[in-house]
Amino acid sequence: MIIEGNFIKEKRDKRIGFCEDIDSICKKHTILDESDVALIHKKAVELVDMAKKRQRDCFINCVRASGNDTITVAAAYADNSLYNYITIGAIVSDVDEPAVLRTLRYGLPTSEIHAVSYTTTEGNSIIQDCVPIENNGKIIGAIVSERDMTREDAEEWKKVVYHEIDTEKYPILNNLAELAECVNDAVVVLDESRTVIFRNDRAQRVYQGYGYIHDIYGKHYDDLSFHGPITVGPGIENSENHTALRCAGNYFEIGEYCYSKNGYYYIIVIKDVTQEKENEENLIHKSVVVREIHHRIKNNLQTVYNLLDMQRRRLPEERIKLALSEAMNRILSIASAYELLSEEGTEVVNLLDLLRKITVNFKRLVDSSSDIGLQIEVMGDNAYVTMDDATDISLVVNELLQNTFKHAFYGRVYGRVRVVVLKRPLYSEIMVTDDGRGFDCEKMDKADEGLGHQIAENIVKQKLKGQISYLSDSTGTSVVFTFRCIENNTI
């Protein structure tokens, strides 16, 4: 979970129930209307009794406007709660809590699904049940109840069970079983009632990765479909349908096939195309970001070149003009080199070391070009990231420092900036805060945002798969963005 707002988590009190301002959260993060929010209020009140009776932590989650994740709008905690902190405003991705997104997408209950959350459990692992909240024919939220993942759950989740194929009852399986185990795609076969009568090992691993702790063999497909109800069937024999979707942090292409042979059978083929999609997204994103950064550097060097050229034209002495021409050529060579620049580094980087280098270089530039006495502090936890993430984080921090220097200390001769690293179980945080004049976050105009802000937003959301938020008043500004760390200093 990513806690929206202040990076400092508020300690949860001992009350069983806790409901915050649902209206403001829904208005800021969702597209729910007034009747939807009114129903959410009603369900939030019911959470208290639910948590007390079931002795489980209970929440209401609603889909954010982006459609890619959800936000917790209400919570009720059990006496023996798994949480030490209030989780109102927590942003949940389907990577960590797939059951929540499944229920909200398809309006189907989801039960006994493994999830990872900001809890006190071992490995932050829990088991979730989710029930949809419906209003006027649309799904507006999900009621989520959570319990600790027991040792028995963990053993069941990791267990691989082999089921003998009943080819006498289901002749269609005669030629399928051996072939299905040879392919890298997940293959699931359903009988006429849409019950799973076969799944290959790949399918079992896919569903385990999604969070199912029990084998899907013998289960009804409506209870475990990634893509909603099956669209092929009787009346359109020997038909097929294909769906592409993002689920549990992965991309899948799902094929549905219906065959009529002594009854109706359904074959579901799930192809994991995550690597192809990520490669495509990375290429697009890197090309855009690198092009913009190199374009800025190239323009700056071109400006220096033009200034030197103006000076050269005014000089009467040919010897000096020649020296300037040589310098100008060197600048053009550097500009060309930036167009071809590529960088490789170590596999793992300590963020504190990286941020100290960034801030030292930044302060040196400020001191040489400005009268502002700028103090920059770096502090926090030792957190490690891959070199790719380190490069992205460097760019984000640099842009935030640049924006702070440009806007926070206008009319002043002294300013203070603090860069803090906070390592968390799931998403870690970096906060860049200043004691400047602040600004009105609610009046941020997307059309007026500079390139630096756009780069920071794009990198955090698209590359780091995190969130970025702004808190500002007359005492200063805090910008917090989230990212994933590497555990134990290893990849």
Query: What are 219-260's pLDDT values in tens digits?
Result: 999 888 888 888 887 776 666 788 888 877 788 889 888 877
Instruction: Please report which confidence band the pLDDT of residue 345 belongs to, taking 50, 70 and 90 as the band edges.
Output: very low
Position 332 confidence tier, pLDDT thresholds 50, 70, 90: low
The mean predicted confidence, pLDDT, of the chain is: 80
Q: Give the rounded distance of the alpha carbon of 129 from its chain centre.
A: 22
Does residue 336 have a pLDDT over 70?
Answer: no
Q: pLDDT tens for residues 77-88?
A: 988 899 887 888
Buried b (16+ CB within 10 A) or exposed e, 285-302: eeeebeeebeeeebeebe
- Please give the average per-residue pLDDT across 25-49, as a whole number: 90
- Average of per-residue pLDDT across 53-58: 92
User: pLDDT at residue 412 above 80?
Assistant: yes
Q: What is the predicted pLDDT for the residue at 327?
A: 65
Residue-wise pLDDT tens digits, 102-123: 899 889 999 999 998 888 888 8
- Residue 206 neighbours by CB under 8 Å, 6+ apart: 186, 270, 272
Structure tokens at 5: 């707002």
CB-CB contact of 73 with 141 (8 Å): yes
Calculate the CA 316 to chain-centre distance. 61
Q: pLDDT class for 2, splitting at 50, 70, 90?
A: very low
Q: Answer yes or no: are the C-beta atoms of 64 and 106 closer than 8 Å.
A: no
Does residue 444 surpass a pLDDT of 70?
Answer: no
For residue 19, name the pLDDT band (cuts at 50, 70, 90): low
Q: Give the whole-angstrom CA distance, residue 209 versus residue 111.
A: 15
Per-residue pLDDT at 15 exceeds 60: no
111 closest CA partner among 142, 80, 152, 75:
142
The Cα-based distances of 369 to 45, 75, 395 in angstroms read: 58, 51, 21
Q: What type of residue is 380?
A: G
Q: What is the 3-state secondary structure (H, E, C) of the chain?
A: CEECCCCCCCECCCCCEECCCHHHHHHHHCCCCHHHHHHHHHHHHHHHHHHHHHCCEEEEEEECCCCCEEEEEEEECCCCCCCCECCCCEEEECCCCHHHHHHHHHCCCEEEEEEECCCCCHHHEEEEEEEEEEECCEEEEEEEEEEECCHHHHHHHHCCCCCCCCCCCCHHHCCCHHHHCCCCCEEEEECCCCEEEEECHHHHHHHHHHCECCCCCCCEHHHCCCCCCCCCCCCCCCCEEEEEEEECCEEEEEEEEEEECCCEEEEEEEEECHHHHHHHHHHHHHHHHHHHHHHHHHHHHHHHHHHHHHHHHHCCCHHHHHHHHHHHHHHHHHHHHHHCCCCCCCCEEEHHHHHHHHHHHHHHHHHHHCCCEEEEEEEECCCEEEHHHHHHHHHHHHHHHHHHHHHCCCCCCEEEEEEEEECCCCEEEEEEEECCCCCCHHHCCHHHCCHHHHHHHHHHHHHCCCCEEEEEECCEEEEEEEEECEHHHCC
Q: Tokens in use for 246? A: 């993002």
Residue in the structure block whose two tokens are 């389907």? 94
At residue 140, the pLDDT reads 95
Can you give the pLDDT at residue 488?
Answer: 58
What is the per-residue pLDDT across 195-218, written as a single tens digit (0 to 9) for each? Answer: 999 998 889 888 888 888 888 999
Confidence class for position 143, pLDDT limits 50, 70, 90 = very high
pLDDT at 16 over 50: no
Residue 272 pLDDT > 80: yes
- Model confidence at 335: pLDDT above 60: no
> Quick one: pLDDT at residue 3?
41
Which range among 109-118, 125-134, 173-182 shows the weakest confidence by mean pLDDT? Answer: 173-182
- What size, in residues, is the chain? 491
Residue 491: per-residue pLDDT? 54
The token duo for 192 is 């006429």
Report the pLDDT value the prediction gives residue 449, as an integer from 0 to 100.
Answer: 54
How far apart are the C-alpha atoms of 409 and 251, rounded to whole Å?
A: 45
**In whole angstroms, what is the distance from residue 288 CA to residue 459 CA?**
11
